Structure 1
Amino acid sequence: MTLAVGTTLQNGTYVIDAWVAEDTIGPVYLAMYVPQGQWIQLRVLGSRNPMALPDISERQAFYQYLEQVVDLQDPTFPSHLGGFEEEGVCYQILAIPTGTPLDRLVTPAQPLPPQASLTFIRQLVTSLQALRPLGWAGLRLAPDQVWYTLDDQVLKLIGFDLPPSLAAAADPAGPTRSPEAALVQGLTHLLYFMLTGQRAEATRAPLAVNLRHHCPGLPTSLDTVLELGQPQNQPWPTVTLAEWEALLPLPETLPANPLPTPTAQPTIQPTAQPTVQPTAQQPTAPATVVVGRNRPPAPQYSDTQPEAQVLAPAARRPASLALVLTGLIATVSGLSFGFYTRLQPASSTGQERLSPHQSFPPLPNWNSNTTLWQPWEDAPTRRSRPDYGDPPPGAAPVPDFAPDPQEPAAPPPAVERRPASVPSASPGPSVPRESPVEPWVAPEPAMPTEPDALPATEPAPAPAPAAPPAPLEPPPQPRPDAGAAPPPLVAPPMPGAPAPSSS
């Protein structure tokens, strides 16, 4: 499940800001707790196997369990824990842990010192014993669930996951491992990871054998701890948490620094030659030998072997130093000469070329009466009229162009000022003045106050008597010859033939 940036949960109480990581339990997001304005971590629970989620009652009991863990006020557990559900998804709230998770801090090349590893394991055991009254179901002791602060050297355990459902725990075909056995096995794997930097789940050989191969200087009591925590003939350990803790050696008996591993690369230094550190750009001298179980012994180098590859980097150093020294000398010399020529004035015995007291002799054939300037009034005329040469004889003289002077602006119109009337002191006879406002005429009311009398209505005239109906005329009788056949048609007489003409 992936939450987009800006997603709000619990009616705007939590706002997703960024994705943090994907750990053993589920995806972790950075969110803002709006009521207090604090950053928190929000983790999605059950995303690995959504079909195996416990019932709603078991999930609610788990959320109450997280609140009880906070009430313990143990420094190993987060100071803020909680949970809620929204749209069928289970979310876990936890304070942002300080430090770095162990899976990023511990590597096979840089494991934790044995003394610090045993100190952290005992600190975890003490905190887990305080958690015994509440239960251990659902705890994860994976390396990414344990955070370590280098400055304060404090561990933080954040591996609180949903416990398996009661139906899965009651299944006879499933594993019947107890929560305490799971804790002992998780602590064993975590101790092996701190000492070697390797995951115990990916190791095929017994853990004690691999630990002895990587760290042969550790006490043998650690072999017993690893064998009981991860037995070979049983799927889970049978010792209790207190018994397993009693087998741990004291941290004071272990070295405080990481032990050298057999995979280290010893450097064979040639006699009478300085040690040279090869760089990434320079060829590595054949002076290092990797020791392995399946490799032949390293060859012995004699004093007569040429050291050309070892001396090659040393021969380049004087050349580079000479180049740097030459550049510095040239820079200092240039700056010194520049400052000297800038600050010291020139002191020559001869005549200076740009001396202000130098006298200039007059030029030959120089007419001092030549007018070198031209009045500005003639300049527009000379520019506007090109020179076409001398005018032909008898032509009218060309008038000089003179621009018309600008006409003065018309004076403003004279305004006659009337003398102000002085009011007299004695009041004169009052003269009635007509008001410019027309008298107001009251409008007629829209509805009359008293209705007008209705005019007298004349009585309706009596109806006239109805006229008698017209008598019915008999239908016309047909003629006697109406049904007889029509008379035959008589053909018209033919005209006579013309008489023959006599010749």
Structure 2
Amino acid sequence: MTSAIGKYLQNGKYTLEQELGQGGFGITYLAQHNALGHIVVVKTLNDSLRQDPKFWEFQRQFQDEARRLAKFSHPNIVRVTDFFVEEELPYIVMDFIPGQTLKTLVIPNNPMPEYLAIHYIQQVANALKVVHRHGLLHRDVKPQNIILRQGTQEVVLIDFGIAREFTPGLTQTHTGVLSVGYAPIEQYLPRAKRTPATDVYGLAATLYTLLTAEVPVAATLRHRQMLPPPRELRPEISPMVNQAVLHGMAVEPEQRPETIDEWLALLPIQNHHSAGANTPDSYHSPLSGQPTVALAPPPPPPPPASHSPGRSVNPAPMPSPHSVGETAWSEAAPSVSPGTPPSGGLVNQPSSSQTKFNDRPWLIAGLAALGVLGAIVLGSIFLRTTDSPLPIPAPTQEDPTPPSPEAPSFEAPLPPVEEPELTPELSP
């Protein structure tokens, strides 16, 4: 077979630029959409199938697959944008998903944290539920067919090459194309019932790999080779998740959950969402290399009253790009600065109380000058009653003094504002 690289399709609309992969059923290329100037993925039947007596049946099934996939509009399912037949070969054109497959991220020795693996698995499960509602089974769920979209924590399910329709309760013929370790026992049988339990097995086996960085034992070997439970390989895996994986990978389909929803109910999905710092929004993984925007904004400034104990008395050195930091400093300034208070309405509050205190001696002096003994007595009583508030101005000047040496404690959190500038170094 001659190489198809550089071949033009649809009168120059597409140019095949690179082979992405091939198997017994199909072959996939990276291609250029010449009219729009962007990259797409083009998939076609393996040319070796031309000699197969069932070639026309394969072609019809391939076209049916394209039509079914074109109906899906889901963020976790690759989107089909075009279909055509050229030189008796059918072609499916799909969106190019920049990123890495989950297999690339975990194999050979980079198992994912439990919460992150569940986060990805739940997205794939949501995609499979849509597929099943359309009467279709994917039948090839595995880490290689799940792409982590670059710059996000979103995964996309790809490669519906061996997807098939299913009718509940009906025994149907299975193809011989499968993925060892992720295909359940019924896919090895020429005739078996097709049910969503087939994809449940593949999804549970995928979770097994994400958690352990190991490919599960093939279903056909498990009668003589035990499947090591995930917790034996990684003791930190929770018993609940360990059991969910094993239940989803039961050899006999009747022993597995019948639907994706039933299997998801075995996972701690709610606990995962409420995990606080352990949610994917704050995950810095060297695997995905995609920290999320949750780290970008600085912490919101607290109320001005809470700033006074830890605010520096000199806001001038604050770098101008950090407008949020400057705002917090300027709002807190009037509540401190005992020596050199900045100008502002709030700064004058202590001095107004001091003015009232200083006015009273003039009143006493005026009364004394009149020589009215009763007024002097009243003035002396008045001074005694006002003696207790006299120390107020002193604490007003001295209270902020002890916290001022702690000013650097407030400056410490400000540098993380620049963290987003460093995060691209983690990108794959």
- Per the TM alignment, residue 177 of structure 1 is displaced from its structure 2 partner at its CA by 3.5
> Tell me, which stretches of 5 or more residues in structure 1 are unaligned?
259-503
Q: Distance in 1 between matches of 2:112 and 2:164?
A: 33
Match of 1:67 in 2: 70
5 Å matches for 1:433-472?
Answer: none
> Structure 1 pair 127/165, CA: closer, same or farther in 2 (3 Å)?
closer
1:175 pairs with one of 166, 187, 191:
191
Q: In the superposition, relative to structure 1, how do residues 24 and 111 fare at CA in structure 2: closer, same or farther (>3 Å)?
A: farther
**How far apart are the structure 2 equivalents of 1:191 and 1:145?**
13
1:227 correspondence with 2:246? yes
Equivalence for 2:331: none
Q: Provide, for residues 296-343 of structure 1, a one-character-per-residue CA deviation record: whole Å limited to 9, x for no partner.
A: xxxxxxxxxxxxxxxxxxxxxxxxxxxxxxxxxxxxxxxxxxxxxxxx
Separation of aligned partners in 2, 1:157 and 1:110: 21
Q: Does structure 1 residue 211 correspond to structure 2 residue 227?
A: no
Structure 2 equivalent of residue 317 of structure 1: none
1:87: Cα distance to partner? 2.6
Cα deviation per residue 1:190-226 (whole Å; 9 max; x = unaligned)?
101100111124585444x341211112222223222
Secondary structure in 1 aligned to 2:196? helix
Whether the aligned pair in 1 keeps the contact of 2:172 and 2:193 (CA below 8 Å) is no
CA–CA separation in structure 2 for the residues paired with 1:241 and 1:180: 7
Tell me the secondary structure at the aligned position of residue 193 of structure 1.
Answer: helix
Deviation at 1:230, TM superposition (A): 1.6
- Distance across 2 between alignment mates of 1:134 and 1:230: 24
Distance 1:162 1:211, change over 3 A: closer
Change (3 A) 1:33 1:102: same
SS at match of 2:119: helix
Matched residue SS, 2:39: strand
The alpha-carbon deviation at position 44 of structure 1 amounts to 2.6
Q: Which of 189, 198, 204 is the equivalent residue of 1:188?
A: 204
Paired-residue identity, %: 23
Distance 1:148 1:239, change over 3 A: same
1:347: which partner in 2?
none
CA distance in structure 1 between the partners assigned to 2:82 and 2:111 by the alignment: 33
Match runs of 1:466-481 below 5 Å? none
Q: Which residue of 2 aligns with 1:160?
A: 160
Partner of 1:248: 267
- How far did 1:10 drift? 2.5
Structure 2 residue aligned with 1:29:
29
User: 1:44 touches 1:89 (CA, 8 Å); kept in 2?
Assistant: yes
TM-score normalised per structure 1 = 0.44
Conserved 8 A contact 1:42-1:93: yes
User: Equivalent residue of 1:200, what SS?
Assistant: coil
Q: Give the distance between the partners of 2:23 and 2:58, measured in 1 at CA.
A: 24
Give distance in 2, aligned partners of 1:35 and 1:192: 43
Equivalent residue, structure 2, for 1:44: 44
Q: Select the structure with the greater relative contact order (CA < 8 A; seq sep ≥ 6).
A: 2
Within 2, Cα distance between the matches of 1:14 and 1:150?
24
Whole-Å Cα distance in 2 between the matches of residues 17 and 84 of structure 1? 18
Distance in 2, Cα, partners of 1:228 & 1:26: 32
CA drift of 1:47 comes to: 6.1
C-alpha separation in 1, matches of 2:172 and 2:253: 21
User: Structure 1 residue 200 and structure 2 residue 208: aligned?
Assistant: no
Change (3 A) 1:22 1:61: closer
Deviation at 1:57, TM superposition (A): 4.7
- 1:85 maps to which residue? 85
Measured after TM superposition, the shift of residue 236 of structure 1 is: 7.8
Of Structure 1 and Structure 2, the greater strand share is in 2
After TM superposition, the structure 1 = structure 2 runs for residues 305-454 of structure 1, keeping only pairs within 5 Å, are: none
Verify the 8 A CA contact 1:121 1:191 in the aligned structure 2.
Answer: yes
Structure 2: state its 5+ residue gaps.
175-188, 285-428
> Which SS does the other structure have where 1:85 is aligned?
strand
The offset of 1:115, in angstroms, is 0.6
1:117 — aligned with what?
A: 117
Cα distance between partner residues in 2 of 1:60 and 1:19: 21
Deviations 1:266-320 (A, max 9, x none): xxxxxxxxxxxxxxxxxxxxxxxxxxxxxxxxxxxxxxxxxxxxxxxxxxxxxxx
* Distance across 2 between alignment mates of 1:24 and 1:55: 12
The 1:253/1:200 distance shift into structure 2, 3 A limit, reads: farther
1:140 corresponds to 2:140:
yes
Task: Determine which structure has more spread, i.e. the larger CA radius of gyration.
Answer: 1
Amino acid at match of 1:103: K
Cα deviation, 1:401-455, whole Å, max 9, x if unaligned, reads: xxxxxxxxxxxxxxxxxxxxxxxxxxxxxxxxxxxxxxxxxxxxxxxxxxxxxxx
Q: Distance in 2 between matches of 1:18 and 1:171?
A: 34
SS of match in other structure, 1:5 = coil
Q: For 1:144-172, what per-residue CA distance to the aligned partner results, in whole angstroms no more than 9, with x for missing partners?
A: 11011463111011122154599x97459
TM-score w.r.t. the length of structure 2 is: 0.51
Aligned-partner Cα distance in 2 for 1:98–1:17: 16
What's the secondary structure of 2:83's corresponding residue? strand
Matched AA of 1:66: L
CA–CA distance in structure 2, aligned partners of residues 252 and 215 of structure 1:
22
Measure, in 2, the Cα distance between the counterparts of 1:121 and 1:57. 31
Judging changes above 3 Å, is the alpha-carbon distance between structure 1 residues 56 and 20 closer, same or farther for their aligned structure 2 residues?
Answer: closer
Deviation at 1:43, TM superposition (A): 2.0
Q: 1:147 to 1:96 in 2, by over 3 A?
A: same
SS of structure 2 residue aligned to 1:176:
strand
Q: Secondary structure at the match of 2:31?
A: strand
> Residue 261 of structure 2: SS of its match in structure 1?
helix
The alpha-carbon distance between structure 1 residues 57 and 20, as it changes in their structure 2 partners (threshold 3 A), is closer
More helix by share: 2
- 1:47 and 1:165 mapped to 2: Cα distance? 24
Alignment match, 1:262: none
CA contact (8 A) 2:139 2:164 kept: no
User: How far, CA to CA, are the matches of 1:138 and 1:82 in structure 2?
Assistant: 20
Aligned length: 253
Q: Is the 8 A contact 1:4 1:16 kept in 2?
A: yes
Secondary structure of the residue aligned to 2:42 is: strand
CA distance in 2, matches of 1:235, 1:12: 51
